Structure 1
Amino acid sequence: MNGNEEYTQEYFKDFGVWGPVAIIAFIILQMFLIFFPSWLPVIIAVRAYGFWWGVLIALIGVVIASTIGFYIGKSFKGIFLTRIFGEKKMEKMDFWISNYAFGSVVLFRISPFLSNDAISFIAGMLHMKFKKFMLATLTGMVPLSIAIGIFSEDISKLKNGLYWIGGVGLIAYVIYIYIDYSKRRKKNFKS
């Protein structure tokens, strides 16, 4: 354990029960601070409260922030996107949401370099079902949070770890879309 970790732990212990609440509030606030990396609060939580408690606190914050973002997006009811993109592109987006929304949300959640927060707003705007959205959010965020928790123990390994996580997630998603698209083409060709 290095001095910075001890300092972080002591700093948050001074907050008592409000320490985890402050981290969760920060995760929610971070949703609106696009320039601020979404994985940083996970590192802070893990360094302050240890691996398992830190990951749990971060996941609670992500679930709350994602829910807020989803319902803010849903309040636009697609009108905003239709005005920006037009009817034809919205039809393509509807196709994408019906067929690839789950995987898209997982990719955005597991990749530390894609906008974790924007996907909440977009999923809400495009009327993705909330349960499906939340399952996809957790499917991506649980492994990302665990990996960040592991890599944050040695900050020098964190950057490479984040690249590997994002790269593997992106490759898996591209393979998934390619296989699914190929199946759809074969099915349509036979019809």
Structure 2
Amino acid sequence: MRLSKFQQFNPVNAIKENDTYYRQNPTMADKIHCAVFVMRVDKLDNLLPAYEKKLRQLLTDTLNKDVPRILLLTRCDIVCEDVAKNVGNLYKSVKVKKKVEQASALFGIPISNIHPIVNYGEGQIEKEYTECDRQMFRREKDKHRFETQEAEKIRSFELMQADKKMLNKHERLKEDRVLKKKELGLLKIKSESEI
């Protein structure tokens, strides 16, 4: 992300390089490491064309900038009665799996980056909340693993760039030494011929 802390988001006009708040050289802390999209599972079948176009554009932009994408599919309990009765069936449900596959095909997000979620309301028992906590913990663990892998890729790339710089510096020093030896050798030959 190349915006300063106090930059106001403007959905109509994108920030330009000559704007006051634009950062030419953002640090790792300034960059976007992950984009999370949230969508109701029942909206997959009847997305408005304008909304779908806008969402696809956002997904394409993040993909082109190598920003990992995660999609949270909410209200999965309305897709499957078994899930509505028992949250523990969320990851076992064939209907939910089909919706995850549909979302993956529709938006081009890998299935491993799509997380189904159940919304909770009144009347649900404590056991379901405990199961929800377990599932939430698993999702957070997966998200953390995913973010760690992305950070590791970035760190490896930066280390590789630093190694290249060091190697180039080493090569230049080596070349400089060779040139100095040649110059000294030429000076030595000249001084001997003058005698």
Larger of the two Rg values belongs to structure: 2
TM range (shorter): 0.3 to 0.5
TM-score, normalization: structure 1? 0.33
Higher relative contact order (CA 8 A, sep 6+): 1
Structure whose residues are more often strand by fraction: 2
